[in-house]
Amino acid sequence: MALGLDGGGMKIKIQITIESDEGKPEALQEVAQLNRGSLRPESLGLTLAEARSILAGIEQTVVERQAAEFVAQQRLCSACGQERSCKGRHQIVLRTPFGKLKLESPRLYRCQCESEDRKSFSPLAALLPERTHPELVYLETKFAALVSYGLTVELLKEVLPISQDVSTTAIRQRVRQTAERLEDELGEERDIFIDGCQRDWNELPEPAVPLIVGIDGGYVHAKDQRSRTEGWFEVIVGKSMSQQGGSSKCFGFVNRYDTKPKRRLFEMLKSQGMQMNQAVTFLSDGGDTVRDLQMYLNPQAEHLLDWFHITMRLTVMGQMAKSINTNDQPNLSAEVEKELERLKWNLWHGNVSQGAANRGRSGIRSGHRRPRPRATEVAEGRSRIRDLHQCQPNIYSQLR
């Protein structure tokens, strides 16, 4: 750092010193030079462009030095110590978070003690088969999972010195490659993931706080459907978090397309430290697909039907009760509504068994005072009662 004559400016040089294992400096490389005049808010510290330039310079120097050191080590045969002869020199391109680098990558002949045919190879190319730094892959896939590919490109260009070397097509390909690799790393699908017995679970360490998992499903209309009656597919999404509000994780997949849905959910919970002796609470709407997904993952699991979906079902049943219209039983609709109200409060207070015992006291029973089937409105009333009779036990089966 050097100050100007008037004391109002300075010149700043940023240099890299590379030392050997013995601590002796071997090289001195200047990375950047900055000039500063009188202090202003916009000249305080580094600008974004200067920071990108400095990072690119440091990355270039460090990577080139590391690559040269690696190639020098590979010039000597690991078996006999003889120096391998060089067949030719070329460059490889390495994409990093701080720029696209061109590295010298000589091609060497194998030693006679290694192979009789003495085929040539490139040590640096073999070390970097993907030509992309893992940190850049992490940033690309992370932001692409949060925002669109276009916004990901703009964000990376704004904060990193990657210039115009990244595109939406490259981001899409990188995300796909990462997803395929993660899919290949998943284990096989199983119906039951509970391992061991109670004796084994008692020997496990003290479990962490309980996990809470919320799961829900919905149908999405495909873009290229031929009609409104086709092209629907079910998407299941969920979120897992600790009871104390720690870090959370989300998941999602397309039902009947994903071949390992239960394995995916189990591995996510396992990554959060789930043990077989740890309490896990599952909240869902009680649908068949989401309920089957959460079964047999943990012996301490508790499966709850959230109140929102309970009231939603009761609302549907209430609308069905209001539509009952029979001439010989004019009070049947009011009796059913009263029974549904009693059922609602029994469930609210947790009296599931009491609600199930009381549900046959009024017209909810399909066999109670059935109307005569000779009139159209009487037949419609019977149909409504039958629908109520089928709808109500579904709630109890989901609560148990």
Give per-residue pLDDT as tens, 244-291: 766 788 888 888 888 899 999 999 999 888 999 999 999 888 788 888
**Are 254 and 331 in the same domain?**
no
Residue 202 forms part of a structural domain:
no
Per-residue confidence band for 370, with pLDDT thresholds at 50, 70 and 90: very low
**Are 340 and 383 in the same domain?**
yes
Q: Is the distance from CB of 260 to CB of 178 less than 8 angstroms?
A: no
Residue 363 has pLDDT above 60, yes or no: no
Residue 10 has pLDDT above 70, yes or no: yes
Per-residue confidence band for 1, with pLDDT thresholds at 50, 70 and 90: very low
Residue 226 has pLDDT above 80, yes or no: no
**Are 328 and 285 in the same domain?**
no
Residue-wise pLDDT for 59-94, tens only, equals 998 999 899 989 988 888 877 888 888 888 889 999
Residue 149 forms part of a structural domain:
yes
Residue 143 forms part of a structural domain:
yes
Task: For the chain, give the percent of residues with pLDDT over 70.
Answer: 81
**Are 170 and 150 in the same domain?**
yes
Per-residue confidence band for 354, with pLDDT thresholds at 50, 70 and 90: low
**Are 366 and 298 in the same domain?**
no
**Are 371 and 298 in the same domain?**
no
Q: How many CB atoms lie within 10 A of CB 142?
A: 12
Of 141-155, 273-287, 363-377, the one with minimum mean pLDDT is 363-377
Per-residue confidence band for 339, with pLDDT thresholds at 50, 70 and 90: confident
* Pairwise pLDDT comparison (133 vs 18), residue with the higher score: 133
Q: How many CB atoms lie within 10 A of CB 280?
A: 22
- Residues pairing with 107 in the sheet: 88
Distances in Å between the alpha carbon of 283 and those of 171, 292, 302, 304, 385? 35, 13, 9, 5, 30
Which of the listed residues 267, 283, 305 is the one where a domain comes to its end?
305
Residues shown for the chain: 400
Of 50-54, 230-234, 281-285, 356-360, the one with minimum mean pLDDT is 356-360
Domain count for the chain: 3
Q: What's the pLDDT at 239?
A: 92
Tell me the mean pLDDT in the region 17-40. 80
**Are 279 and 332 in the same domain?**
no
Per-residue confidence band for 240, with pLDDT thresholds at 50, 70 and 90: very high
| Burial (Cβ within 10 Å: 0-12, 13-18, ≥19) of residue 360 | middle
> What is the rounded distance in angstroms from the CA atom of residue 176 to the CA atom of residue 131?
17
**Are 322 and 375 in the same domain?**
yes
Residue-wise pLDDT for 119-128, tens only, equals 888 999 999 9
**Are 215 and 280 in the same domain?**
yes
Distances in Å between the alpha carbon of 309 and those of 70, 105, 322, 351? 62, 63, 20, 17
**Are 300 and 312 in the same domain?**
no
Which of the listed residues 274, 305, 336 is the one where a domain comes to its end?
305
Tell me the mean pLDDT in the region 1-23. 70
What CATH number has the domain bearing residue 239?
Answer: 3.30.420
Residue 28 forms part of a structural domain:
no
**Are 301 and 217 in the same domain?**
yes
DSSP state of 43: G
* Pairwise pLDDT comparison (169 vs 222), residue with the higher score: 169
Highest mean pLDDT among 112-116, 289-293, 369-373: 289-293
> What is the rounded distance in angstroms from the CA atom of residue 259 to the CA atom of residue 246?
30
**Owning domain of residue 167:** 134-185
Tokens for 86, please give them.
Answer: 């060089």
Residue 91 forms part of a structural domain:
no
Residue 366 has pLDDT above 50, yes or no: no
Per-residue confidence band for 298, with pLDDT thresholds at 50, 70 and 90: very high
**Are 341 and 279 in the same domain?**
no
Q: Is the distance from CB of 352 to CB of 346 less than 8 angstroms?
A: yes
Tell me the mean pLDDT in the region 5-30. 75
Tell me the mean pLDDT in the region 194-219. 89
Tell me the mean pLDDT in the region 343-351. 77
In angstroms and rounded to an integer, the radius of gyration of the C-alpha atoms of the chain is 34
Which of the listed residues 305, 330, 352 is the one where a domain comes to its end?
305
Q: How many CB atoms lie within 10 A of CB 308?
A: 9
In the three-class reduction of DSSP (H, G, I as helix; E, B as strand; rest coil), residue 253 is classed as strand
- Residues pairing with 254 in the sheet: 235
Q: What's the pLDDT at 369?
A: 41
Residue 356 forms part of a structural domain:
yes
Nearest to 136 by CA among 105, 176, 94: 94
Average pLDDT, the chain: 80
Helix (H) or strand (E) holding 48: helix 48-74
Contacts 24+ apart (CB under 8 A), 358-367: 359/392, 362/335, 362/336, 362/338, 363/324, 363/329, 363/332, 363/335, 363/336, 363/339, 364/336, 364/339, 364/340, 364/388, 364/389, 364/392, 365/389
Tokens for 333, please give them.
Answer: 């609709």
Residue 387 has pLDDT above 60, yes or no: no
Residue 204 forms part of a structural domain:
no
* Pairwise pLDDT comparison (194 vs 360), residue with the higher score: 194
Residue 253 forms part of a structural domain:
yes
Residue 223 has pLDDT above 60, yes or no: yes
What is the sign of the dihedral through the CA atoms of 338, 344, 348 and 353? positive
Residue 384 has pLDDT above 90, yes or no: no
Q: What's the pLDDT at 219?
A: 86
